[in-house]
Amino acid sequence: MSHAALRGDHHVHSTFSDDAVSTLAENVAAAATAGLTTVRLVDHVRQSTTWVPEYLAAVRALSVPEGLEVLTGVEAKILDASGTLDIPVLPEGIDRILIADHQFPGLDGPLGPTAVRERIASGWAGDDVLDELVGALIAAMRRYPGNQLAHCFSILPKIGLSEEDLGDERIDAWARAAAETDTLVEVNEKWGCPGIRSLAALRQAGAGIVASTDSHVASDVGRYSRVTALLDAEAGA
């Protein structure tokens, strides 16, 4: 089954991220080779990041093949339950912030997966954990509207939970918030999320869905298998 979303890759890292190996130019060339019409060049930021103007200048200097649209983005983790992001003041020119669940957004700050699992083992109820996570995601979308959720719910298996544990009420509230805030939600190749139930809720709510590889090397740009399977399964459900 063919999906329009697969003509784009909305999460591609370059050497501006400390864990990626390909340059912006190599990623653009790979996107063109893969036959994409859209690529979003994205790199990790923190509050202390200073190189965003340099990144934007490098994007503007790229030679872009005809028929390919190059978009920009920065990826920042949610810090806490209020939806605050670990992000610097951004100059004009960033198309979308990618809101990422790299750690668990706790009431007093980010928690690593091990700390969350230990708290669950000590009696933190799963329903309360899930309420806090979904509440933080919704808060982040409302605080930073018009952006993009990166590999949403990838934190869940790291803390011993899954999307199946979320239940319809949480998923539907999350999907409605995405639609209401013009938040794109990526289907992520690297992490295989969000799942079929979540994708169906997004479509029902009228939220935007895009595909992403979350690539850290140019040879992965636009190369989908898990995303294709998820989109096929959701369309056939």
Assess contact for 213 and 221: CB atoms under 8 A. Answer: yes
pLDDT digits over 159-181, tens only?
999 999 999 999 999 999 999 99
Domain-by-domain residue ranges, the chain?
Answer: 4-45+52-214
108-149, pLDDT tens digit by residue? Answer: 999 999 999 999 999 999 999 999 999 999 999 999 999 999
3-state secondary structure at position 146? coil
Question: What torsion do the CA atoms of 57, 18, 24, 29 make, to the nearest 10 degrees?
Answer: 180
**pTM given for the model:** 0.96
Residue 2 has pLDDT above 90, yes or no: no
Encode pLDDT of 60-93 as tens digits. 999 999 999 999 999 999 999 999 999 999 999 9
* 4-45+52-214: CATH number: 3.20.20.140
Tokens of 185: 């939600």
pLDDT at 26 over 90: yes
- Across-strand partners of 64? none
CA 15, 109, 171 angle in degrees (round to 5)? 85
pLDDT at 1: 47
Average pLDDT of span 228-234: 96
